[in-house]
Structure 1
Amino acid sequence: MRKPLIATSTLVVASLALAGCSGDTGGSDSGESGDWPDSITISLVPSVEGEDLAEALDPLTAYLSENLGIEVNGVVANDYAATVEALGADQAQVVITDAGSLYNATEQFGAELILRDVRFGATAYSAVAYTNNPDKYCDDEPVMANYAASDIELSFCNGIEPGETSMGEGPAGLDAFSNIDSGTKVALQAATSPAGYQYPVVAMQDAGIDTDADITQVPVEGNNNAVLSVYNGDAEVSFAYWDARTTVTEEAPDVAEKVVAFAYTEMIPNGGVAVSSSLPADLTEQLTTLMDDYADSSDEAADVMFNLVGLSDWTSETAEDEITRYGEILALFSN
Structure 2
Amino acid sequence: MRKSLLTTGIAAVTVLTLAGCSGSSPEGDAGEATEWPSSITLSLVPSVEGEDLAQALDPLTAYLSENLDIDVEGVVASDYAATVEALGTDQAQVIITDAGSLYNAIERYDAELILRDVRFGATSYAAVAYTNNPDKYCEDEPVMSTYAASDIELSSCNGIEEADAESTGSGPAAVDALGKITDGTKVALQAATSPAGYQYPVVAMREQGVDTDAGITQVPVEGNNNAVLAVYNGDAEVSFGYWDARTTVTEEAPDIAEKVVAFSYTEMIPNGGVAVTSSLPDDLAVELTQLLDDYADSSEEAASVMFDLVGLSDWTSETAEDEITRYGEILAEFAG
Q: Same fold (TM over 0.5)?
A: yes
Superposition misfits of 4+ residues, deviation over 4 angstroms:
none
For 1:250, the equivalent position in structure 2 comes to 251
Equivalent residue for 1:180?
Answer: 181
Q: Distance in 2 between matches of 1:25 and 1:99?
A: 31
Conservation of the 8 A alpha-carbon contact between 1:25 and 1:279: no
- Please list, as runs of the form range in 1=range in 2, the aligned pairs for 1:197-208 lying within 5 A after superposition: 197-208=198-209
Residue equivalent to 1:23: 19
Letter in 1 for 2:114: I
Give the root-mean-square deviation of aligned CA atoms: 1.8
Q: Which residue of 2 aligns with 1:7?
A: none
Alpha-carbon shift at residue 26 of structure 1 (Å): 3.5
| Pairing of 1:293-308 with structure 2 (within 5 A) | 293-308=294-309
1:99 is the counterpart of 2:99: yes
SS of residue matched to 1:265: strand
Gaps of 5+ in 2: 1-11
Conserved 8 A contact 1:171-1:264: yes
Counterpart AA for 1:50: G
Counterpart of 1:214 in structure 2 is 215
Question: Which 10-residue stretch deviates more, 51-60 or 195-204?
Answer: 51-60
CA deviation map 1:33-72 (0-9, x unaligned): 8200000000001001112111211100000000000000
Q: Secondary structure at the match of 1:40?
A: strand
Q: Which residue does the alignment assign to 2:197?
A: 196
Aligned to 1:334: 335
**2:169 aligned with 1:168:** yes
Please state how far the C-alpha of 1:213 moved relative to its aligned partner.
1.3
Task: Report the 3-state secondary structure (helix = DSSP H, G, I; strand = E; otherwise coil) of the residue aligned with 1:268.
Answer: strand
Q: Is the partner of 1:212 in helix, strand or coil?
A: coil
Match of 1:319 in 2: 320
Corresponding residue for residue 157 of structure 1: 157
TM-score, normalised via structure 2 length: 0.91
Kept in 1, the 8 Å contact 2:188–2:230? The answer is yes
Higher strand share: 2
- Aligned ranges 1:56-205 → 2 under 5 Å: 56-162=56-162, 164-205=165-206
SS of structure 1 residue aligned to 2:52: helix
Secondary structure (helix, strand or coil) at the match of 1:76 reads strand
C-alpha distance in 1 between matches for 2:162 and 2:151: 17
What code does the residue aligned with 2:198 have?
Answer: Y
- Unaligned runs of 5+ residues in structure 1 are 1-13
Distance 1:15 1:265, change over 3 A: closer
- Aligned residue for 2:267, secondary structure, equals coil
Q: Does 1:227 align with 2:228?
A: yes
**What's the offset of the Cα at 1:24?**
1.8
CA distance in 1, matches of 2:238, 2:222: 15
Match of 2:277 in 1: 276
| Cα distance in 2, alignment partners of residues 138 and 15 from structure 1 | 41
Q: Residue in 2 aligned with 1:55? A: 55
- Percent same amino acid among aligned pairs? 79
Counterpart Cα distance in 2 of 1:273 and 1:127: 23
Instruction: Provide the aligned length of Structure 1 versus Structure 2.
Output: 316
In 2, the alpha carbon distance for the partners of 1:262 and 1:287 equals 42
- Contact 1:47/1:309 (<8 A) preserved: yes
